[in-house]
Amino acid sequence: MSTTENKHYIDGKWVIGCGTQFSSRNVVDNTILWQGRSATEDEIDSAYHAANNACTTWACLDFEARAEYIMRFAKHVEEKRDAFIKLISLETGKPHWEASTEVNSVINKVAISIEAHHERLHAQSYTMADTVQAIRYKPHGVVAVLGPFNFPAHLSNGHIIPALLAGNTIIYKPSELTPAVAALIMQCWHKSNIPAGVINCIHGDAITAKALLDKNIQGVYFTGSYATGVQISTQLGNRPEVILALEMGGNNPLVIDDTLHDLDAAVYNTIISSFITAGQRCTCARRVIIPNNDLGNDFIQRLLIATKQLTVGMPLQRPEPFIGPVIGHSHALKHLAAQSALQAAGGIPLLPMTLLQAGSGLLSPGILDMTWVLNPPDEEIFAPLIQIYRYTDFDEAIMLANQTRYGLVAGLFSAEEKRYQQFYRKVRAGLINWNKPTTGAVSTLPFGGVGISGNHRPSGYFAADYCAYPIASLEQPALSAPTQNIPGIKI
C-alpha cells in the first residue's frame, strides 16, 4: 500500500483523514486493500474552499489548455493499466478480462468527451443588422461527483472528464466500497500536474456525501440507486439552482419475439444482458419476457442449460471465469433475501441463485418464473437473477415490458423489423436496443433513462449538456439610440 492510498486529496495535497476509520478488502483473501478515514466537516470545508478558489482560474483557461491536463491524466492511466486492472479485479471482484475493458473505457473517454464538448457546447454567432446574436457556454462552478462501486473508475470518470473540460472544479466522493481504485485515479490526476484545487477527493459514506451536499456547490452528478437519488433530491429540494444529473438504475425488460430463428444467439445475448458483471450493471435485463409457446419453452430449456455451465469464480482464477462475486458478502445475503421474497410471492425457481462460498459474494446465476405472480415487486435487484414472464401476443409483451416505474433500457430480440418499430414506438425507456444486449451502451451515444431511472439529464455523449449552461448575448461595438424613440420617451 502506497503512502497516498489512505488519504484524501485536497488542494493538490494528500491529507490524512481524521474521521471514522473504514476499509475495503481483497475479495480473494479478505485482506485489507485500503484503510483510511472518512472526511470530517473541516476536511470537507477545505475541499470546497480549494475547489471554489480554483474556479475562476480554471474556467478562464483556454479549452485546449484544460484538455492538455486531461490528456496527461489519460496517459498516466495507460501507464498504470496493469495496476488498475488488478486493483479493480481485487476490489470489485471483476475478472481480469472485464476490468481491462473498464480501464479502456476510462482512457477512451477523454477523446470522446473532447469531441462531444465541441459538438454539444459549440459557440455560435449570427449577425443581423448591426447586432451580433451569440450563444456561448459557461461552467456551473464547483460540482460534486458521487461515484458508484460497480464501475469505480469508468462511471465516475464519465462525469469528471466532461465537467473539467467545461471548466468546472470538482469534489469527488467515491463509493466507500471502492476507495482503493479512487486513490489510484487520484494519483494519476496528481501526476498530470493539474492545478491545485481543480479536482479534490474526499472519502466516506452517505454521511460524508450528505455533508458535502450542504456546501455551496452548483451541481451534483450521481450514479447509483433510486433510493439514494431520492435522498439527494430531497436534501436539495429548497435549492433548485443546483443542477442534478441522476442516473438511478432500472428494472429492465428484454423481450424474446417468437419470430426468432437462432435461439442459441438469443440465449447467448440474454446471458450477456442479464448476468455480466454478476448482474451489477444498471443496464442488466432483470425481466426476460418470452412467448408462451413451444419456442418459449425451447428458449428456457437452452437458457437453463447454458446458465448452469457458466463459470463463476474469483477474479484471479485461471482459466478466467465469466463473472466474479457481487461486491460483498452482505450484498449477496441481501440478494438471496430478495430472491426468497419473490418465491414467497409465487415465483417458481427454475434455477435458484445460491451462495457458492461461505462468507463471500460468489452467487450462482438464478432464474425464476414470475408469470403467475400478481403485482410483482418493481425493484432493481443488483444480482445475477432473471425473472421470466410469459406472454400470449406481442401487445401483451410490450405491456409487460412497460410494467415498471423505471425506464432505463429495453431490449427486443426479433427477426422482424416491423416488430422492432412497434416495440420502439410503444416501449418506455431511454435506451432501446434491437438484437443487441441491453448492456451494450457506448460512450458515443447519450446514456440515461426516463421514469425513476433518471431526471432527463443523460450522461455518455450528452454529459457535456449538464456541465455547462448556455449564455445568450446581444452585442454591438458601439452604443446607439434608435432613429425613432418609443412613444412616451423624450430625449
Q: Does 247 qualify as catalytic in the annotation?
A: yes
Q: How many CB atoms lie within 10 A of CB 123?
A: 11
- In this structure, how many other beta carbons lie within 10 angstroms of the beta carbon of residue 82? 10
Find, among 90, 107, 247, the residue nearest to 179 by Cα: 90
Q: Which residues pair with 134 in a beta bridge?
A: 125, 473
Kindly name the residue from 5, 43, 91, 247 that is annotated as catalytic.
247
The answer to whether 241 is a known catalytic residue is no
Alpha-carbon torsion angle 83, 13, 41, 151, nearest 10: -20
Catalytic residue among 282, 284, 380, 467: 282
Sequence-distant (≥ 6) Cβ neighbours of residue 107 within 8 angstroms:
74, 77, 78
What are the catalytic residues? 247, 282
